[in-house]
Structure 1
Amino acid sequence: MKTTLNGILALFLALVVQVSFAQEKTISGTVSDQNNVPLGGVNILIQGTTNGTQSDFDGNYTITASVGETLVFTYIGLKEATAVVGSSNVINVQMQEDAQALEEVVVSALGVTREKKALGYSQQTVKGENLVQTKEVDLNTALSGKVAGVQMVGAPSSTFDQGLLRLRGETGVLYVVDGVKVYSQSDINTDNIGNISVLKGAAATALFGVDARNGVVLITSKTASAGQGSISIDHTTSMTSVSLLPKYQNEYGGGYYQEWDTFEFNPATDPAEWAAFDGQKTPYYAADESWGPRLDGTLVRHWDSWIEGSDTFGELRPWSANPDNIKDFYQDAITNNTSLNWSKGGDDYKVSASVRNINTELVLPNTFRNQIDINLNASFDFNDNVNMYTSVNYQTRVTENEPAQGYGSSLGSNFNQWWQRQLDMNRLEAGYNQNGSYYSWNIRSPRNARPLYWDAPHFGVDNNNTNQRKDVLFGNFGLNYKLSDNFKVNLEARRRNNNYFSNSRTAFGGLEVPDYTESRSRYEQNELFGFANYNDRFLGDALDIDVKVGFQLQANKSVATSASAVGGLSVPDFYSVATSVDRPSYSTTFTNSTVNSAFSSLSVGYESTLYLDASYRLDWGSTANVNDNRLETFGVSGVFIFNKFLDINAISFAKLRAGVAQAPIFPNPYQTTSIYNVGNPYGGNASFSVPNTQSNPNLLGGTRNETELGLEMKFLKNRLGLDLTYFQREDSELPVAIPVPGSSGFTGLSINSGQTSSNGIELAISGTPVETKDITWDLAVNFGTLEKKVDFIYEGIDKNILQTLSWYSLQLQEVVGEEWGTFVGRKRRVDSNGNFVLNSDGSHVFDTNQNLGNVLPDFTGGFSSTFRYKNFFLFTGLDFQKGGLFMSTTNMFTNYSGLHEDTVGNNDLGNPLRDDPSVGGGVHVVGVDENGGTVDTYVEAQTYFGGLFGAHDAYIYDATYVKLRQVRLGYTLPTSLLAKTPFKKVDLSVIGNNLLLLYSDVPGLDPSEIEGSGSLTSPYRAVEGGQLPPARTIGLNVKINF
């Protein structure tokens, strides 16, 4: 009986399975919108299951389902559509607009999503997919040109240096990733960004407190989609090469004069076989300029011909140009960027994870970085009322030999300031390390081959090594509890850890004393955050009220230690502080601070027409006076949506907004409290010193008052959009260092006194001029202006030196009544008619302490174009700046040292500039003397260009530029080719970054990327101090979805 029953059950199950399989079939079709335009990316799920797919770029889809099952089609901004599987294998679906879903939702303060129409302040969103079109690793560079009023002040693209993000003229923008404050954009994985919300004004950022007064870049990480799972692999291989170099001359070689030296054999000291060298021509090897003999092929003894035992010893070679010698030093660098992404979503959970590995070379040889990012986001619904979520982000970054920048021993300085144009880079590389010694082109004499001034360039990159490692871990863990349909609470713990280690060495065998330094630092930030939220509708749903009340507790702790050898190292080729010749130098720095905060906000909406927002925050900071350490930040904004009152079909949406806010800031740590600096022991006793500036227990960081007005409009059924903003701000009670009597033991005292005022206009225009079945073309333009004036410094003080920059005391100043950031320095004198005032010998007369212009640009902006034709895709992004000034040390030195092409050629007489004026050469100068008499003469070229050294006005340039920054040309493989593969989608692309400087008046430099070693680190880089060249990147990208 039991056997019979089992047999019956088995037969029944077999029949069920047979019937089920008999009813399963492959369904295909096309999804389109109400205008019959195919829709790609539509989610298609079998109702009640997690089985699903997506439509491709042409709207086509394929799914396996059974007869009677329901297919659910969903797409943002469109109504959900359903279709029941019947006898047909083809189901085409046309989706309709959902007026309610079309309301744009953005991320606002505290990471809360809101309808954009309700925001009373300036905000712009950048989708993650648009951010990394060209696989940019640096977040600031990726944002360049994409947000109005935001500019990326670039660092040289041939380095690992970070660019500065400047928002409404200020740096110090706060980055927030899933609620966690991140103070370095390099710690953020750009591939894991779902979208970015840029909050610009103080009214927008008030709830973030004092850290956010310069703006917030609010980042939401990628998350899984409900009911879907996906796996993708994204790989890019790219090559980077130098894109721009100064225009070098190739007519004259190294030396201080054009005559040849000759070798004179000395039988008393020279080897006998050197007698054959007597009378041979020799250049001035040790000269670090190129004012030497003409490069005419004369046979001479080059530097390496004096290295005994070498293959080149005794060799005579032509004195010839090497036009590409600088370019030949740099390499074509390869970067491999691979990321693996996985996500899975169900009815009550969402989990996503990603791993990214980047191996980056720089164009400078022997420079490398490996970076690994690991990201995890998860959300779990325990029931309808309780949700738990977490986000964990880890990055480890190892950098070898990060290049130095600026004036000094950096290679940018060497090649553009102290160099000889005839040098052969391949011979330098092959010959610098021979016979157990190091050599270079600048030997002291034929009898002393030790270099003078500088080691060979390859010695530095091969031997003077630096190593850095940075580990970053940040994330959160939170709980949402829904007490009722209208009331919920949130509690979240956040943590961020940064650990940094570096060591650097100066190698044995070079000109510099061997050295070794190592440093470690650790930064830790812990936060506890929570808020309660009540939301309800009244008056028949006409009135919407939302109230939030919350708190934030933040504790910061940092410790930094360093140890350095002093006097050299005692053990050859053993690099350790323990081998220091003299007592090593040690330092340790601790910093601890806390900020405790309470905040509240009220949002009121009426009839989806009028909105009012008010926010208030109190911060108690440990860095302020203990008796007065409370700061208040508040903002109020309002919105009026008026398109419904216009009755104009062409206007789809119209909104006016206005806001006011006040945002104070705490002083820096220990500005209000006296501290002691620990020095080296003296006489066996510990020594201490006090800072030069006296602490002020009542010091504040300043207060900002800001007003903002805005107009947002959309036209032609949202095909064209406009967002216009005007802002005005006043920064008052700014810290100012005033002089105090020396008898006090200090040189200055910081008090609250300064005041500046700013205003600007921001304009964002977006549109879709073409939208058909096969073609879509989207355009976006962003534009921003800024005026910033100095209103007051201190009674009796009308100017303040922001920084003394370089070379004959060029300064950046703030002067009362003028624009902030004035260059003050040496200027060639001119008379009322614009004629140069000259001395009788033709040299310039200089005036000092002259206003040379302003560092602030007139306006900045960007443009982007996204063009799609069937499966093809083309993205183009450029950015621009009009106005603003900077000084170039590179161009000053290339002229002074005779390296630049401006120092050669013929004068107006048709004779070589470098010929003596007595034979028709020289630079023709015309002007007047101090009495108004005419001066018309020719000046020897070396004297003329040497006389311009330190002439600030001659080397201060207009920083206007237009730059083609990003291009991506892509193709999506047709789904028909992938039918028998495990791939859902395959994208192939050619990408380019930093491609072309379309316009600039600056010779040999890219004004969009200036290193900051010789100037202010923020918010403007006023002096280029001798930097490495810009670089262009071109690569291939493939992305595969499974």
Structure 2
Amino acid sequence: MDVYKKSGRLTFICLVTLVAAMIAEPVWAQNVNVTGKVSDNNGEPLMGVYVLVQGSSRGVSTDMDGVYAITAPADGTLLFSFMGFDNVAEAINGRSLIDVTMTVSSVALEELVVTALGIKKDRKALGFSVTEVGAEELLKNKQTNVINSLAGKVAGVNVTQSGGSAGSGSTIIIRGGNSASEGRDNQPLFVVDGIIYDNSTVIGGNSGTDGMTKTASTFGNRVMDINPEDIESMSVLKGAAAAALYGSRAADGVIVITTKKGATDGTVKVNVGSKYSYSWANSLPELQGVYGRGYYNQAGVFSDYTYNSWGQKNTGTVYDNVGNFFRGGNIWDNSVSVSGGSKNGSFYLSASRYDQQGIVPLTGYDKTTMRFNGEQKYGKLTVGANVAYSISNTQKTLTTAGLYGGGGNGAMTAVYGWSRSDDMTHYLNEDGTKYRMFPQYQDLASDRENPYWMLNKNKLSDQTRRWTGSVNANMDLTDWFNVAYRVGLDTYTYDEYTYIAPGGAVSERYQNGRLSKSDRNYQYLSSNLMLNFHKTFGDFDFNLLLGQTLEDTKNILQNHWGYDFVTAGTISFANIANENKFFTETTIRKRLIGVYGEFRAAYKNIAYLTVTGRNDWSSTLPVENRSYFYPSVSGSLVFTELMPKNDILSFGKIRASWAQVGKDASAYATNTYMWSPAAVSPGFVGIGNNWTRGNPFLKPEIQTSWEVGGEFRFFGGRLGIDYTYYNSTTTNQIAAPRLGQSTGYIFMSINSGSVSNKGMELMITATPVETKNFSWDLTLNLSGNRGTLGDFMKGVDLFYVTDVQIGGVKAAAVPNGGYFLGITGDYWKRETLKDGEGNVVKDENGKEVENPDGRYIIDETTGLYKTTGVATNVLGNREPKLIGGFGNTLTYKNLSFSILLDIRKGGLIYNGTEYLLLNNGLSPMTLDRESVTVEGVSSATGEPVAYTYKAGQMYIVNGAEKSGEYMIQSYWSNYATNSYNLLTDTNWLRLRAVSLSYDFKGLFNKQSFIKGLTATVTGTNLFLWSNYKGMDPEVSVSGSGTGGSGSSGIDYCGVPATAGLSFGLNISF
């Protein structure tokens, strides 16, 4: 361990220990002489109302029965405040009993929301869009990956789950992607209790997948390490103006997570929660079982030497290999917390355990978390600390990729492609040796690996151990000047382990076993100093914030691997000869220093103005370009303050903002490096150029955005409308397009092009019915975004970032105003377009233009439809036109029922799984095997032709005799090459979540040992209505963390998404 790591961790541990010791002093409440109960207009007690002695910092909160107790001067005044209610001031006048009734505020916007740097601001003062989701809403459909809890709930936020694997990750994109670089996943910055929280998806790279490394398995994103029960609220900062103070990493938005703290009412609360969930695959591909394994050659001779299902009709058992492969998943989720405090301090302790059995056999995920949050006041000084630990383990499987260049497939491609005339569970002979289907015809490397062999013999697992925490101090030097300082740490170790058992269908080199272990040690240290000045002059209110931040990031990546075990049955690197063992280590370091400022001004409750500026210095940019400044300005006008009060429009506000955010480069992008010396084959060591050529002239990307919007509340807050239109352009894109091979490199980092996003967001809230015992609340959010890639470097017509290629289809970004989430592929050619005089129409480059409504061309050399032969044709846009959510909550006394519908309109999805089934003869579309007909125009003569091929007959095609069966088989493979046949402009309406809960608070009184009990039943993904004919269309073949234009909209042999039911109890003491 180097000196840097030792000193950093020792300093942090000492600070945490010191602050924890300060906090640990007794915080129990003192005797009181004023008590009372706080209720709403219906007489229901209000828990959590803050009761403050006016003119002092002494305050308490009401308990679950609305009761409070506080010491106060006999001639003083008590102030009662609660979010969503009008404040109340009560003169004490010597009274010892004061009961208070609070009225719901006519304007629901009189609430504070968490914004940049954790600063709470009045919502009506904001000139940009911020959405806050509270703990109650997040836990209605509790997910171990908190990202999934936001799906369908926030306008402008698109959440894509990467499948139903245990421990799989999710991708969250706010207002479209802004960077075309593979090194940027375009996901928002996560900040937990003021500390930047890494959300990377770690790809171990141990799966040798021929250009598709990231599809080899499913990987988790690191926000999964948070216990959802610890979260008090999540604030989604969408625009650059909202996030600018966080610096370079905030250009894609920010999600600010605030964890729970103890109450200040002098009591200690214990909360215990337990939930059991059962899940199942919500959608599986349909496979034909009429025809079994086999094929017909050109001469019409049948053979069963194939894995494909072009054979004769099944007369024996037809196996449901796919349906029998997946099992029901079981999840146990348990948590406990202890919290408490007094007027001068509070604490919160929690622990949780999550155990998931995946729907794929022998896969699973478990997570254990612990957290401590504490705060203590010493007069004008407030100190706090928080620390969290988590450890998680994932047992998974390769999904879609081949094993190290052999003929084998990942488990899922094998499952979906296995003939239904063969029992897939038959992977061992009676003597325990491996069962092979064609040992007499082919070598082991050419076998199609059995999924059960992979699951039972091979091992793929990972473990993450994570510590996060911070210490902070806040001093009120005067009534108008405040100083705050925070230092934080986020560190984790990610270990991935892969074992390929001897006898696997892999390259000969690895057939005696392979072992690899990849380790990533991530460490992030930060400090943040803030000076806050606040003064009021008459009707004007001014606030000035000045700050400085330091961020230091270090990654150490180690990779061990070896092959050819010396002794059978011993899985260890010590059991591999030295010449077959390899090791690499890479250290990546980055430092960023920033200074920032924010000036806020307000006039009465009418007009608000905010101006910010930040300058960063980044170690990843050249010296002359590493300093960059970016400002923002935003404002809002509450125009209803200028109007007479009325019963219709209760509140009206317009807002606008303009902002810039700078983004630096990835580490070491400015320099060119050689690969470390490594063994390229036994006895030989090689060295060569890194794939990417560096660029010492890189500049930061600059994102410029603006937005306008309005917020309106009608009928005393019963109806609310929030609308935003935004426009954003990121210039100086740092990208790495492919170079010519003659350069000696594959990529080169450059500044070129721009990415633009424009769109709208609409949020509607309403309470149609509200009585003493019944209420009905609903929310509707809709948003649409259009992302385009601007002018790029000359000669780059398509920009492939992710290496996602299924058949002839690729995920791509299209320059010069094309789709940012584009898709390209091969297709059947049509006849050329002709003008009124019969002349062929050509484009500006002299290329013949196809007639989009013309007839298909029949290739006379194959007797089938002619394809373009390339995968670079732009097919369309993967980005949805509209996404949204519609939620309803109905409450009757202690019973609550909620339902959330998820909406999508448009956006192409490619059914790559159907591509596999078509080529394997398993698609139901291939059931008509008696004849097929192709119609179009001849490639030789241009004249209309039609060819019909029938089973049992012979045909002359291009001078060669071919059987009808062979031509029918070839037709369906030809059908699959036309990408348009497998593309769907997809719509869906999804029952994302439904829950029913009952609060048994009527069973307990104040003296009861049990203070509260809630039972909840929840359903997830129970129904899906969609025009997409494949599996669940919420897909991203490369999983979470994929850079640039990503891989959403590509569906290929993934672990199916799940539906589920859960049953939970929550008890408080």
Do both share a fold (TM > 0.5)?
yes
Structure 1 residue 177 displacement after superposition: 0.2
Q: CA deviation at 1:146?
A: 1.0
Q: Summarize the Cα distance change of 1:98–1:888 in structure 2 as closer, same or farther, 3 Å threshold.
A: closer
Matches of residues 260-659 of structure 1 in structure 2 within 5 Å? 286-296=305-315, 319-322=316-319, 324-383=320-379, 385-405=380-400, 409-417=409-417, 419-424=418-423, 428=425, 432=428, 434-439=430-435, 442-444=437-439, 453-512=447-506, 513=511, 514-538=513-537, 540=538, 542-566=539-563, 568-581=564-577, 582-647=579-644, 648-659=646-657
How far, CA to CA, are the matches of 1:500 and 1:657 in structure 2? 44
* Paired position in structure 2 for 1:112: 119
- Structure 1: stretches of 5+ with no match in the other structure: 1-23, 263-282, 297-318, 905-912, 915-920
1:922 aligns with 2:940: no
**Which residue pairs with 2:974 in the alignment?**
947
Contact 2:1004 2:1010 in 1 (8 A): no
Counterpart position of 2:275: 236
Distance in 2 (alpha carbons) for counterparts of 1:50 and 1:533: 26
Residue 762, structure 1, aligned to residue 769, structure 2? no
Shift of 1:223: 1.1
Take 1:152 and 1:492, find their aligned partners in 2: how far apart are those partners? 31
> Could you say what secondary structure the match of 1:838 adopts?
strand
| Residue aligning to 1:1000 | 1026
Contact 1:813 1:824 (C-alpha < 8 Å) held by counterparts: no
Work out the CA distance in 1 between the residues paired with 2:1045 and 2:652.
35
Query: Which letter does structure 2 place at the counterpart of 1:362?
Result: G
Tell me which residue corresponds to 1:162: 169
Task: Tell me, yes or no, if the aligned pair for 2:129 and 2:239 is still in contact at 8 Å.
Answer: yes
Query: For structure 1, which segment, 1029-1038 or 781-790, has the greater mean C-alpha deviation from structure 2 after superposition?
Result: 781-790
Q: Distance in 1 between matches of 2:543 and 2:246?
A: 18
SS in 1 for 2:1063: strand
Paired residue secondary structure (1:816):
coil
Q: Secondary structure at the match of 1:186?
A: helix
CA-to-aligned-CA distance 1:297-320 (integer Å, 9 cap, x gap): xxxxxxxxxxxxxxxxxxxxxx12
**Percent of residue pairs bearing the same amino acid type:** 26
* Bigger relative contact order, structure 1 or 2 (CA pairs below 8 A, ≥6 apart): 2
Give 1:698's aligned residue: 697
* CA–CA distance in structure 2, aligned partners of residues 749 and 63 of structure 1: 68
Amino acid across the alignment from 2:461: N
- Amino acid paired to 1:922: S
Measure the CA separation in 2 of the matches of 1:970 and 1:698.
59
Supply the distance in 2 between the matched residues of 1:1013 and 1:882 (Cα, whole angstroms).
Answer: 22
The 3-state SS of whatever aligns with 1:252 is coil
Whether the aligned pair in 2 keeps the contact of 1:631 and 1:665 (CA below 8 Å) is no
How many equivalent pairs are there? 940
In the alignment, the residues of structure 1 paired with residue 80 and residue 1009 of structure 2 have an alpha-carbon distance, to the nearest angstrom, of: 23
- For residues 373 and 1041 of structure 2, what CA distance do their matches in structure 1 show? 41
Letter in 2 for 1:994: N
CA distance in 2, matches of 1:929, 1:371: 62
Return the offset for 1:471: 0.7
CA shift digits 1:539-567 (9 cap, x unpaired)? x2x1000001110111111111111114x
Match of 1:135 in 2: 142
* Residue type of the alignment partner of 2:270: I
Moved more, 973-982 or 597-606: 973-982
The SS at the match of 1:413 is helix
Structure 1 residues 954, 448: closer, same or farther in 2, change over 3 A?
Answer: closer
Q: 2:1055 aligns with which of 1028, 1034, 1037?
A: 1028
Q: Equivalents in 2 of 1:993, 1:353: separation in Å?
A: 29
**In structure 1, what residue type is equivalent to 2:614?**
R
Aligned mate of 2:864, from 820, 835, 843: 843
Q: Would you say the 8 A contact 1:45–1:53 is kept in 2?
A: no
Residues 747 and 236 of structure 1: is their aligned pair in 2 closer, same or farther, counting only changes over 3 Å?
A: closer
Partner of 2:17: none
Deviations 1:664-686 (A, max 9, x none): 21111111123232021699997
Rounded to whole Å, the distance in 1 between the matches of 2:284 and 2:760 is 35
Give the match's secondary structure for 2:818: coil
Give how far 1:629 is off.
1.1
Deviates more, 1:610-619 or 1:578-587: 578-587
One-letter amino acid of the structure 1 residue matched with residue 329 of structure 2: A
Alignment of 1:172-251 (within 5 A): 172-184=187-199, 185-227=223-265, 228-251=267-290
The aligned residue for residue 671 of structure 1 is 669
Counterpart of 1:325, as a letter, is N
Letter in 2 for 1:959: T
1:788 aligns with 2:787: yes
After superposition, the C-alpha distances for 1:19-63 in whole angstroms (9 at most, x for unaligned) are: xxxxx9xx999x6533x36355365999999896413xxx9x899
Distance 1:604 1:449, change over 3 A: closer
Q: Deviation digits for residues 869-906 of structure 1, max 9, x if unmatched?
A: 112111212222222223222111112212122221xx
| TM-superposed deviation, 1:197 | 0.8
Tell me the TM-score normalised to structure 1 length.
Answer: 0.84
Greater C-alpha Rg: 1
| Deviation string, structure 1 residues 801-832 (Cα, Å, up to 9, x no partner) | 44553255534242313232332221112344
Supply the distance in 1 between the matched residues of 2:64 and 2:1022 (Cα, whole angstroms): 35
What is the Cα deviation at residue 328 of structure 1?
A: 1.3
Task: Please name the residue that 1:9 is paired with.
Answer: none
Q: Which 10-residue stretch deviates more, 455-464 or 833-842?
A: 833-842
> Does the CA contact (< 8 Å) of 1:891 and 1:955 recur in 2?
yes
- Rounded to whole Å, the distance in 2 between the matches of 1:72 and 1:534 is 25
Aligned partner letter, 2:642 = F
Question: Does the CA contact (< 8 Å) of 2:48 and 2:61 recur in 1?
Answer: no
Aligned partner of 1:816 in structure 2 is 816
**CA distance in structure 1 between the aligned counterparts of 2:784 and 2:321, rounded to whole angstroms:** 42
- CA distance, structure 2, for counterparts of residue 837 and residue 285 of structure 1: 33
> Residue type of the partner of 2:126?
L
Alpha-carbon RMSD across the aligned residues, in angstroms, is 3.6
Which residue matches 1:937? 948
Q: Secondary structure at the match of 1:434?
A: coil
Q: What is the CA distance between 1:494 and its match in structure 2?
A: 0.7
How far apart are the structure 1 equivalents of 2:858 and 2:980? 16
In 1, distance between residues paired with 2:1068 and 2:110? Answer: 30
Q: Distance in 1 between matches of 2:70 and 2:376?
A: 29
Query: Structure 2: which 5+ runs fail to align?
Result: 1-31, 178-185, 200-222, 403-407, 832-850, 951-964
Asked if 2 retains the 8 angstrom alpha-carbon contact of 1:439 and 1:451, the reply is no
CA–CA distance in 2 between the matches of 1:64 and 1:405? 64
Deviations 1:443-483 (A, max 9, x none): 446x9998961333222111211232111111110000110
Q: 1:614 to 1:625 in 2, by over 3 A?
A: same
Q: CA offsets, 1:901-931, max 9 Å, x none? A: 2221xxxxxxxx22xxxxxx22344444342
Query: Matched residue of 1:856: which SS?
Result: coil
* Residue-by-residue CA offset, 1:336-380 (whole Å, 9 max, x unaligned): 000101110201001111111001110111112220111111110
Q: Aligned residue for 2:733? A: 734
CA contact (8 A) 2:165 2:1055 kept: yes
Letter in 2 for 1:141: N
Q: Residues 99 and 390 of structure 1: is their aligned pair in 2 closer, same or farther, counting only changes over 3 Å?
A: farther
- Alignment deviations for residues 940-969 of structure 1 (CA, whole Å, 9 cap, x no partner): 542321222333222223233222111111
Match of 2:1035 among 1003, 1009, 1012: 1009
> 1:618 Cα deviation (Å)?
0.9
Q: In structure 2, how many angstroms separate the alpha carbons of the residues matched to 1:720 and 1:1020?
A: 38
- Return the offset for 1:645: 2.9
